Amino acid sequence: MPEQHFYEQRDHTDNYLIPFFKKHIKNFQNLKVLEVGCAEAGLMDRLSELGFEVTGVEIDPERAKIANEKNKNLNVIVGDISDAEIVEQTGNEFDFIIMREVIEHVIDKETAFANLNKLLKEGGYLFVSFPPKYSPFAGHQQVGLSILKAVPYIHMLPKKIITLLAKLFKEHQNFPHHVKFNYSTGCSIRKFEKLYKKNGFSIVIKEFFLFRPIYKLRFGLPLIKIPNLPLIREILSFGCETLLRKNP
């Protein structure tokens, strides 16, 4: 699985992310890049090959170890973006920060965004993608073993009901906690907007997807966007992808 994820991220970087970044970021070359929640660092590996100076932060020591073993030239730090020490740990101001499918797992989002501001140069870019808190699979139930992994909005049910369903369908024991915990730490689009505005960021582009760009690689599904309408984007969007810029 780690091997598969590594190469999936490399492919997604080539097929979607780099063309997107080139389109929306001026002079997208030779930048200092930080990836927060880099996992096995497939994205970083590809950017490194293209001449970018890359640093990664990964909370899981095992995944950070795999990343550093995959490419000895990568600098992947074990750390948490919401820790006070993370700014000192990375030791750099960056031109560009990437944070994909991370913010919904961070408990202290206020500190995380304050740290992102400190780590980014004035005029630098921040790319954030995440499934909104009230979206169909915000509980990350897709990691389940039974049919429950395909049930949308299950994370919004009471935990007692999820527990009963998990027993009925012979799900793994931790499934109810996993789903409810992810829901509890999730980030709504409204909350996300408050966070970036409070911490000195402005929008370059913000998009909402029914079928996200990564789904084409994983499932062969076409990319489908949905409109930026308050209720629709919160409950129907499978993903919000936003490019921000730090205000001078």
Average pLDDT estimate for 118-146 = 97
Count Cα neighbours of 89 within 13 Å in the Cβ-side half-sphere.
Answer: 20
Pairing of strands 75-78, 53-58: parallel
Residue 106, burial from CB neighbour count under 10 angstroms (0-12, 13-18, 19+)? buried
At 73 the pLDDT is 85
pLDDT at 91 over 90: no
Confidence of residue 2 (pLDDT cuts 50, 70, 90): confident
Rounded CA-CA distance 208/221 in Å is 16
Kindly tell me the number of DSSP H helices and DSSP E strands found in the chain. Answer: 11, 8
pLDDT at 168 over 90: yes
Percent of the chain with pLDDT over 90: 90
Average pLDDT estimate for 24-46 = 96
At 212 the pLDDT is 93
pLDDT in tens, 59-81: 999 999 999 888 888 899 999 99
At 92 the pLDDT is 76
Rounded CA-CA distance 222/14 in Å is 17
Confidence of residue 148 (pLDDT cuts 50, 70, 90): very high
Average pLDDT, the chain: 95
Dihedral over alpha carbons 157, 159, 164, 168 (to 10 degrees): 70
Domain residue limits, the chain: 2-131+186-246, 141-181
pLDDT at 1 over 80: no
pLDDT at 195 over 80: yes
Contact between 131 and 138 under an 8 Å Cβ cutoff? The reply is yes
Average pLDDT estimate for 24-52 = 96
Q: What CATH number is given for 2-131+186-246 in this structure?
A: 3.40.50.150
Average pLDDT estimate for 44-51 = 96
For the ranges 11-15, 25-29, 71-75, 223-227, the lowest mean pLDDT is seen at: 71-75
pLDDT in tens, 202-227: 999 999 999 999 998 888 999 999 99
Confidence of residue 167 (pLDDT cuts 50, 70, 90): very high
